[in-house]
Structure 1
């Protein structure tokens, strides 16, 4: 209960969300835009098989999948991650004839590989594309979520906000006195799998050759990293 010596909270002056003549408030935005080399590259691998017999198709798909996995694993430490996605065996019915007669079976396995050595990436994509009934999509270039580039962009955005606020204060013949608020508007680069049109995508159809194909010369796409902050400061009263 409030007493005469202790004023109640209701009697206290409300917080002012803006500046006052004695402590003008200044709001600015700081931005940073960097272009950096990618740290990882991802490729999608689709292995296929087809045949008139379900078990034969499955066995063929298993063999082709093992061959693709062995090729990826042969890159050693250059491969940071290897995952198996969707798997399917689908019957295709004959268009004519009585009853449901299966004409052929189609099998697919989808793999995702993430590499950090882009020289090995060019060799691997070529060797995978050289396999029968194998498709390679990508590469999708990206930064790791914890990449130092994100921290660098955020820090640069904060420095720009402070510098901009100082310039405004100097234009008024005064100085900043305190930081009232700093808000992260948004920071980051492309997602792990950028949407269509945001990254280069290459696809290869399988081709049987007597001699190994030459490794592809893949040029990494530089990544755009951005950060934005909003900052509010108080200034010493300017002489206007």
Structure 2
């Protein structure tokens, strides 16, 4: 569905993405995981066209993504960042409907789609008249997810969408998102630094280090057949805090 072939990106001469080749299967959730600065978010920004690759190709369903196709590309991709990225001068309804209005959807079509999305994400329609500062963190992120889904895109890019939420709200949204994307057969590429979250969402896990893939496969592959010492260390670092707590309680 989505392919990156020999994609390279540098910032100020420093290589951030190193000749990356990656295939994202349709109807599945692929999770990019790794430490801060390994290139996870940069990959999403390259796909959505916020920055341009220095070399390599990105294709969706074999169609090459180019600077000339950015507008069309953004209508086919939903994109959510950690804090939601809601426009503060617009209320929730206006944020969700922004692209649909830009594309001159009829008011009836917009209204129907809005009701469908509000039901999907369990957000009362009455809350859509509020501005972002009148919404809780969980409500803001639901609005951001609704906005990303408004045009019914074929691909969703999620950049740590739940990272700023408290654990209970995060758990609820994880359950809802997994159910929605599975039922709608959406192709999802998600960024997280949390192994537990990667395992919960991911059909396919891609572990990055310094802009390159060090291992990919199922969560079981990474846990049971780590490809390198780095993979083992990364997994151990994620598990260690819970082990320390268990030891203190014994």
TM over 0.5: no
Q: Which has the larger share of helix?
A: 2
Q: TM-score, normalised by structure 1?
A: 0.22
Query: Max radius of gyration: which structure?
Result: 1
The structure with higher relative contact order (CA 8 Å, sep 6+) is 1
